[in-house]
Structure 1
Amino acid sequence: MSHHPVLQAVIREVTGQLTSHPQVAEAFQNCYPNTFDTTIQSCADGSTFVITGDIPAMWLRDSAAQVSPYLPLVQDHPQIREIIRGLIVRQAQCLLLDPYANAFNQNPSGPGHKQDRPEPSPWVWERKFELDSLCYPIRLAHQYWTLTGDRSVLLGDFRQMLDVVLHTMRTEQHHEEESPYRFERPDPLLPSDTLEREGLGSPTAYTGMVWSGFRPSDDACTHHYLIPANMFAWVSLGQVVQWAEEVYQDENLAFEARSLMHDIQQGIREYGTFQHPEFGKIYAYEADGLGNQLFMDDANVPSLLSLPYLGYCPADDPIYLNTRRFILSKHNPFYFQGRFLQGIGSPHTPGGLVWPIALSMQGLTSLDRQERLALIRQLVSTTAGTGFMHEGVHPEDPHHFTRPWFAWANSLFADFVLKSLQLGDWDEVPTDLYAQSALQTAGSRKDHL
């Protein structure tokens, strides 16, 4: 159990509501405090550095997602509030150092992928440009500001960061002609670890959307207009508009953000949809503006599955529901089914592994109580006796998994359980529905990858 008394109180409250479901209670007790207890490092300058778990670097995406379960605590608990505030400060510092980087070191000590071309700054662990890396800091700051009303965190470096973010997005609308960004990894383990055409990426034409070199899986895009990432950018820019009007009184910032929103939305409508013969109108995962589209979904967020979670559309939006049916079916090449699991995986983990992140996201965006309960049952019965979520899990053998310490997956599971309780999902659930799994009683064998 966490050593922090506030987190202990939350754990006691939640597990008290789940006394008839010990597997779920145990998994929550392990997963909820995992980020707080193992990955958060307070820095001398007052900022907060959050590692991913078993990798000692801070991803902008992961760090924002990892602290999500603690956001409801920021109003009443100053220590939690300062930790989140410190992370917002640190993320702004990172983007000012390099808006094209996805992962950073705590100090300019130089670890990471130093063989990449061009060689990144010693502050940078990895310089894969992922559009969502510009969005997650905005999302986290907006959530924090909404809950606390703290305007001070939006000033100084953060305000300067917004200019850098918008400039980078505007530049990457015209990647072929204007972008300074190149990325090559000599002798990559997988082709998806580098970009073709001497680091420029595969060809694209202007669409109004923002180019992204890599997906939130850290894998190279096939076509570089990543639709869910652009939807995330559209949401983030709307939050910038709100700040421009309510905090900064900056008409130029509001105009620029609105202009980008308009361009992105037009691009999504023109290049990001498809009339599927079985599912109706659906969203593509990627497009290039040259007539090519990719139809799939990846476990990492932003994903097509996560659109209501990100705030792009309601969970009952017709195009989203059509898309959801498509990506949760055999038509999605990264939807895997086995005896113990079924859900979305990722080409990032070859071998047909289902990602707990995707199962939690499926639950967080579901309108169906039975679906949510079934997903929690899958999640808690496939931890291989560890009590924690993992990166990818084999649907035929949950003892075959990747990354035993992956804080994002633990935090998202905690978010899912909290939402499920808020929705009243556990009222009158039979106690034997979550009976001890034979998989877990078999022991905690960890022949993970």
Structure 2
Amino acid sequence: MGLGRSAPTHRRGEDRGAAVKDVLQPYVDRVRQAFGDPRVAATVSDALERTLRDTLTRDGDEYFVITGDIPAMWLRDSTTQLWPYLRMLGGSRELADVVAGVLRRQFRQIGHDPYANSFNPGPTGAHYEPGDLNDDPWVWEQKYEVDSLAFPLLLAHRWWRATGRTDVFDDRAHRVFRTVVDQFRLEQRHEERSPYRFVRPGAIATETLTREGLGTPVGFTGMTWSGFRPSDDACTYGYNIPGNLLAAQALRHLAEIATACWDDAALATDAQQLSAEIVRAVAEFGVVEHPEYGLIYAYEVDGLGGTLLMDDANMPSLLSLPFLSPGLVDPEIYARTRSFALGPGNPWWFSGRAASGVGSPHTRERRVWPIALAVEGLTSGSPQRQRELVDLLLATDAGTGRMHEAFDVDDPSRFSRPWFSWADSMFCELVLTVAE
């Protein structure tokens, strides 16, 4: 079934105004009190207001969310862009309504195409690459990423817990939740059963899938397959470990909602069982012996002996596991994995005159990501290190007052994406966590 709506016609930010700004102010004041540097509070205030004002467009009872300087809505980004506001929902019906509108849009998008990662505001026919195999006019890009289905479930669960409301959990949402479980289960046996293919003619290896769009070979493990990473780069091996653990966490949330809101014991049981299967498979196939660090989580495996040891700046990452999947991580294995990810053993960790941190094959070498620096802080457990990372993020914004996609570790004035709303929100999440 199609999305069934025209492009949003309401002006961005027109109905949020002073009421929501009043909700933000106490949090900004708390930041101002917690940090001696007034620039911290100013940067947080600007970012929180900018996301609400400039990224969201109302369409009836839904909200379309652009990711910043790209005019499309990613299921992942539109969730993480709202993360800092979730602590505020109990004090603002207006803000809770905004998140509800984003959820409705996400559910509509998943129902339209559960393999797509990003969508247009209407059937515009815009595409990141017009030559892609998929030509659906609603779809900006159809890179299948496990986290695209998992993140909206985390958002729905947080919204429900914070507000006690169930109005977004209508019949369509019920069908979408069933779709997510069915697709995760189908993609456990990607080789035999999957209808998904992604072909980008003439693209570099990270922008297309091998074997006429099927991807590199995988064996059955119990994990669910993903064509692409959260960075939108093609997986080297089809079982992305942080993506699978995020999916397992999301399935637990799904089961809880299915029981409480629809009294659907069958859906809840299926989701719980699938979550348990994924966790067992990660323990069996996704934990490997590193010659220096010992037992750590791999980044990707294929169930056939192939193992990729690295971490990527994008969430879900290995570094982000306690933040996104807190009940599913072995603390000792994570501690060793963290040491690996934040050091030279990780081929995408860089250190220079201005900063050290995790980068990505998605961007140039020797570039670190503010998202990864914020995640390092959120998972560090050290208030001192968190404050150091806040200072570092401010010192490397090239004087723009915004967080970017990536910057050069020796020269932060060399950066990519002047407006990346997800990075802004992760900075806000770190600062608000420290202030709390």
Q: Which residue of 1 aligns with 2:125?
A: 110
Residue 26 of structure 1 is matched in structure 2 by 42
Please name the residue that 1:89 is paired with.
Answer: 104
Matched, 1:39 2:55: yes
Alpha-carbon offset, residue 4 of structure 1: 4.7
Residues in 2 aligned to 1:315 and 1:201: alpha-carbon distance in whole angstroms: 28
Q: In the comparison of the two structures, how many residue pairs are matched?
A: 420
Counterparts of 2:239 and 2:35, CA distance in 1: 47
Shift of 1:18: 4.7
CA distance in 1, matches of 2:19, 2:169: 31
Residue of structure 1 in register with 2:90 after alignment:
75
Aligned pair 1:180/2:181, yes or no?
Answer: no
2:349 corresponds to? 335
**Is the 1:315–1:366 Cα contact (8 Å) retained in structure 2?**
no
The alpha-carbon deviation at position 9 of structure 1 amounts to 1.5
Deviation at residue 156 of structure 1 after TM alignment: 1.8
Question: How much is the aligned-residue C-alpha RMSD, in angstroms?
Answer: 1.7
For structure 2, which runs of at least 5 residues remain unmatched after alignment?
1-16
**Against the structure 1 CA distance between its residues 390 and 93, is the aligned structure 2 distance closer, same or farther, given a 3 Å change threshold?**
same
Mapped to 2, the partners of 1:314 and 1:267 lie a distance apart of 12
Tell me if the contact between 1:115 and 1:185 (Cα under 8 Å) persists in the aligned partners: no
- Deviation, 1:11, is 5.6
Deviation at 1:3, TM superposition (A): 9.2
Structure 2 counterpart of 1:393:
407
Q: TM-score, normalised by structure 1?
A: 0.90
Mapped pair 1:232 → 2:232: no
Instruction: State which of 143, 148, 155 in structure 2 corresponds to 1:133.
Output: 148
Distance 1:12 1:235, change over 3 A: closer
In structure 2, the residue matched to 1:16 is 32
Q: Which whole-Å CA distance do the structure 1 matches of 2:328 and 2:395 have between them?
A: 30
**Equivalent residue, structure 2, for 1:402:** 416
Residues 256, 12 of structure 1: CA spacing in aligned structure 2 closer, same or farther, 3 A cutoff?
closer
Supply the distance in 2 between the matched residues of 1:3 and 1:382 (Cα, whole angstroms): 33
* Paired position in structure 2 for 1:248: 262
- CA deviations on 1:213-250 (whole Å, 9 max, x unpaired) are 00000000000100000000110111112123222221
In 1: Cα distance, 2:257 partner to 2:308 partner: 35
Please, which of 365, 372, 377 is the counterpart of residue 363 of structure 1? Answer: 377
Identity of aligned residues (%): 44
Contact 1:227–1:268 (CA under 8 A) maintained in structure 2: yes
Measure how far apart 1:154 and its partner are. Answer: 1.5
TM-score by length of 2: 0.93
Match of 1:378 in 2: 392
Matched letter for residue 207 of structure 2: D
Whether the aligned pair in 2 keeps the contact of 1:18 and 1:24 (CA below 8 Å) is no
* SS of equivalent residue, structure 1 residue 322: helix
Code of the aligned partner of 1:266: R
1:278 Cα deviation after fit = 2.3
CA apart distance, 1:38 = 1.3
- 1:315: how far off? 8.3
- Residues 201-350 of structure 1: pairs in structure 2 closer than 5 A: 201-313=215-327, 317-350=331-364
Alignment CA distance shift 1:314-1:93 (3 Å): closer
2: distance between equivalents of 1:217 and 1:408?
Answer: 12
Unaligned runs of 5+ in 1: 423-449
CA displacement, residues 138-179 of structure 1 (integer Å, 9 cap, x when unaligned): 000000000011122122211110111111111100100000
Instruction: State the AA in 2 paired with 1:407.
Output: S
CA–CA distance in structure 2, aligned partners of residues 418 and 19 of structure 1:
11
Q: 1: CA distance between counterparts of 2:20 and 2:102?
A: 18
